[in-house]
Structure 1
């Protein structure tokens, strides 16, 4: 299957995670949701870890620092830091800031890994970022003018940098590790760190939730965690972090459509304009150059 289709599938699964996260938010705290999500992922992977223990545990021992770093960035840190930010900022602010992730990836990649970036990529990221901003401000420039920066936004910025850093560094994972061996390792190490952090913060665990919460956790564990991380990591390894990162801008589109279907939210004219900018930007960045050269 085409690698771009696989990356889009990863983003679609993450969009479903966003919609379900909003759906169950009145019942369960975000950090406990993250703990249950990754705990279930670990449970699902335990048979695989057992069968591949002769590869997994020596790999952890021999590559401890980079694997712990990737586990913290991709599993523990990103989720936890974003949780802090969402406590003190608005959804609009967080979406605006998260739209900068592809830009952060390009900047960090250029500074630290010297991965080349084309003029088409710059123009494409610029246009798709405009599309995301247009969606977030709902086509009303006054919403952007009235943007107020608060301390929660600093946490959201840090979470964006954390995820962008993961996207850049994941190519330095041990080459001998197969895809699910790597996912098993970052899930194991990431959950251990998340578990410790959760209780160090004085949190307690509750289980009296509705079936909707548990069904949502099951979805989050299988699709946005297992499948999305596998597809996303594969995309980075095949086409690089710069191009893979830009597909993140599809998330507001798919999120809006899923919110319309499952949450009853309306689709407005500004959605169409935002989608057009995002689609043109992604096309220019990912496909236009190869078509021209061919």
Structure 2
């Protein structure tokens, strides 16, 4: 049986995206009154495209291999750029950042299920143990240290949107582990992400057009929205995707999925800070359980 080596450097790579994505959920919630959710996703990736253009724009040239592998990048763009983020912003209109990230923390289970069903990746006992420990950490955050809170939990439409989003992200992560594109494109992270964003903009553009045609969409331009767009484009988009892609290549999709459970912990802390409240002791307990799940999942 092959093993997955989780080094400190790889763990750091996979920890940064959940932190940035937690901030993405908080910021997305803050601008719900300023911009429609699908439009926010399109604008986010439009800014990211402008950032990536001088770094990996060569992939748009003829002979780069993009057209030869357009099906792969069209699917990656749909799952990772078009669907996941659009559904998350849509979910934030009816659900809180903590709830949204908590639903997304079911990622390890979807990772293991998709890996077994479609990618011939057997589930090991350490991975099951890691999933249980990580989900226990999520439950601690969900209960806020009081288990009676779980009995009063109510799911809303946003939570269901996040279930679909999480499945799409799990599928996206497994596809990242497959090396079907030219080596030059895989070696250049900006070009590899640019290839996904090009098609992702097409998908998100179609969704945005539908949003404006079917709803009374409007945008309130100003410095708050501009600052939010810069953050969600630079941090959760460009930097987080770079770190996540590299981490998945090093540790594998199944192990990487466990790091997603750090997102609700970070979201709870960030939400508490924005509300002027200090982090609670149960946040530390949840972090310890999730970290234990990560370590257990990477063992032989």
TM-score scaled by length of structure 1: 0.87
Q: Which runs of 5+ in 1 are unaligned?
A: none
Per the alignment, residue 112 of structure 2 pairs with 106
Contact 1:84 1:152 in 2 (8 A): yes
One of 3, 13, 21 as aligned partner of 1:14: 21
Q: Which has the higher helix share?
A: 1
Contact 2:32 2:92 in 1 (8 A): no
The answer as to 2:282 corresponding to 1:278 is no
Shift of 1:46: 2.3
Per the alignment, residue 209 of structure 2 pairs with 199
One of 135, 143, 148 as aligned partner of 1:142: 148
Q: Which runs of 5+ in 2 are unaligned?
A: 1-7
One of 132, 138, 141 as aligned partner of 1:132: 138
Aligned CA RMSD, in angstroms, stands at 2.5
Per the alignment, residue 209 of structure 1 pairs with 221
Shift of 1:231: 0.9
Larger mean Cα displacement after TM superposition, 179-188 or 95-104 = 95-104
Shift of 1:205: 7.1
The answer as to 2:195 corresponding to 1:185 is yes
Alignment of 1:1-294 (within 5 A): 2-54=9-61, 58-88=64-94, 94-149=100-155, 152-172=158-178, 173-176=180-183, 177=185, 178-201=188-211, 202=213, 208-286=220-298, 289=299
Total equivalences in the alignment: 287
1:271-291 deviations in whole A, cap 9, x for unaligned?
A: 2322222222222223xx36x
For residues 69 and 231 of structure 1, do their structure 2 counterparts lie closer, same or farther at Cα, with a shift above 3 Å needed? same
Larger mean Cα displacement after TM superposition, 89-98 or 133-142 = 89-98
